[in-house]
Chain A
Amino acid sequence: MPMSPTLALILLAWSTEDPAKLEFSRDVQPILAKHCFLCHGPDQGTRKAKLRLDLPSIVGEEQGILVPGQPLSSDLISRITHTSADERMPPAEESALTPGEIELLTRWVTEGAEYQRHWAFDQITAPALPGGGNWGRNEIDRFVLSGFADGDLKPSPEADRATLIRRLSFDLCGMPPTPDEVTAFVEDESPGAYEKLVDRLLAADAYAERMTLAWMDAARYGDTSVHHADGPRDMWPWRDWVLRAYGANMPFDQFTVEQLAGDLLPEPSTEQLVASGFHRNTPTSDEGGAIDEELRVKYMVDRVKTTGNVWLGLSMECGQCHGHKYDPISQKDYYRFFAFFNQSEERGFQTRSGNADPKIDLPTETQKTDLAALDESVQTVEAFFRTTAPQPGAFEEWHADERKGLLERDAPVLGSWYSVGPFQKDTKAEAYSVDHGPEAIEIDVTAKVDGQAWKERPDQDGVVHNLGSKQNAAIYLTRTIDCERAQAASVSLGSDDSIRIWLNGKMVFEKDAGRAAAADQDQTSLELPAGESRLLLKIVNGGGPTGYYFRLGAENLPGPILAALKSEPERLTDEARSVLHDHFIQSGWPEGIEQAAIKASALARKVEITKSLGTVMIMRDVPERRVTYILDRGEYDAPRKDQPVEPGVLEDLLPFPEGAPLNRLGLAQWLVHPDHPMTARVTVNRYWAMLFGRGLVSTVMDFGTQGARPSHPALLDWLARDFIENGWNVKRVLKQIVMSATYRQDSRADKARLAMDPENALLTRAPRFRLHGEFLRDQALAVSGTLVDKMGGPGVKVYQPEGLWNAVSLDRNKRFTQDHGEKLYRKSMYIYWKRSAPQPAMATFDTPIRDTCVVQRQCTNTPMQALVTLNDVQFVEAARHMAQRLILSETDFNSRLDLAFMLCTAHPATPLAREVMLETFNAQLVVFKADKDAALALLGMGESARDESLDAAEHATWTVLASMILNLDETLTRE
Chain B
Amino acid sequence: MDPIQERSRQVTRRTLLRNGAHGLGAMALGSMLGKTAFGDVRDKGLPHFAPKAKRVIYLFMNGAPSQVDLFDYHPKMREIHGIELPESIRQGQRLTTMTSGQNSFPCVAPMFKFKKHGQHQTWVSELLPHTAGIVDKISIIKSMNTEAINHDPAVTYINTGSQQQGKPSMGAWLSYGLGSMNRDLPNYVVMISRGKGNFQALYSRLWGSGFLPSEHQGVKFRSGKDPVLYLSNPDGIDAATRRRMLDGIAKINEAKYEETHDAEIQARISQYEMAFRMQTSVPDLMDLSSEPDSTFELYGEDARKPGTYAANCVIARRMAERDVRFVQLFHRGWDQHNNLPKDLRGQCKDTDQASAALVLDLERRGLLEDTLVIWGGEFGRTIYSQGALTETNHGRDHHPRCFTTWMAGAGIRTGYEHGETDDFSYNIVRDPVHINDLNATILHQLGIDHDRFTYPYQGLDQRLTGVENPRVVTELLA
Contacts and interface: CB of A to CB of B under 8 A. Distances in A.
Interface of B: 23-25, 27-28, 35, 38, 94, 96-98, 149-152, 164-166, 192, 198-205, 208, 213-215, 219-220, 222, 226, 228-238, 240-242, 244-245, 248-249, 251-253, 255-256, 259-262, 264-265, 267-268, 271-272, 274-275, 278, 397-398, 456, 458-460, 467
B222 A807 contact: yes
A871 B165 contact: no
Contacts of A871: 230-234
A973 B265 CA distance: 10
Interface string A678-719: 000000000000000000000101101111000000000000
9 contacts: A228-B150, A287-B152, A315-B459, A702-B459, A747-B262, A808-B202, A851-B165, A916-B248, A934-B235
A758 B27 contact: yes
B176 to A, nearest CB: 12
Interface string A788-819: 00000000000001010001111111000000
A289 B200 CA distance: 13
Given A315-B458, A851-B165, A865-B271, A938 B237 contact: yes
A637, A849, A868 pick with most chain B CB within 10 angstroms: A849
A837 interface: yes
B143 to A, nearest CB: 22
Nearest to A967: B249
Given A288-B97, A289-B149, A870-B275, A860 B214 contact: yes
Nearest to B99: A289
B208, B213, B235, B238 pick with most chain A CB within 10 angstroms: B235
Contact of A750 (B23, B164, B261, B456): B261
A969 B203 contact: no
B204 to A, nearest CB: 6
B213 A858 contact: yes
A257 interface: no
A873 interface: yes
A305 to B, nearest CB: 9
A939 B260 CA distance: 35
Interface in A275-293: 283, 285, 287-291
A231 B341 CA distance: 30
A387 B469 CA distance: 82
Nearest to A834: B204
Contacts of A924: 241, 244
A301 interface: yes
A704 B456 CA distance: 13
Given A289-B150, A937-B236, A863 B278 contact: yes
A707, A840, A862, A865 pick with most chain B CB within 10 angstroms: A862
Contacts of A934: 235-238
Interface residues of A, number: 109
B35 to A, nearest CB: 6
A846 B214 CA distance: 7
A768 B264 contact: yes
A968 interface: yes
Contact of B262 (A321, A749, A863, A919): A749
Interface in A933-975: 933-941, 956, 960, 963-964, 967-970, 972-973, 975
A706 B454 CA distance: 14
Contacts of A754: 24-25, 28, 261
Nearest to B200: A810
A441 to B, nearest CB: 35
Given A288-B98, A315-B460, A840-B229, A912 B28 contact: no
A229 B222 contact: no
A301 B268 CA distance: 39
Nearest to B467: A321
A533 B267 CA distance: 76
A867 B230 contact: yes
Nearest to A970: B256
Contacts of B256: 968-970
Given A230-B201, A864-B219, 5 more contacts: A287-B152, A298-B164, A706-B456, A860-B214, A927-B240
A397 B459 CA distance: 87
Contact of B245 (A864, A920, A973): A920
A938 B235 contact: yes
Contacts of A808: 192, 201-204
A298 B156 CA distance: 14
Contacts of A862: 38, 214-215, 271
A863 B275 contact: yes
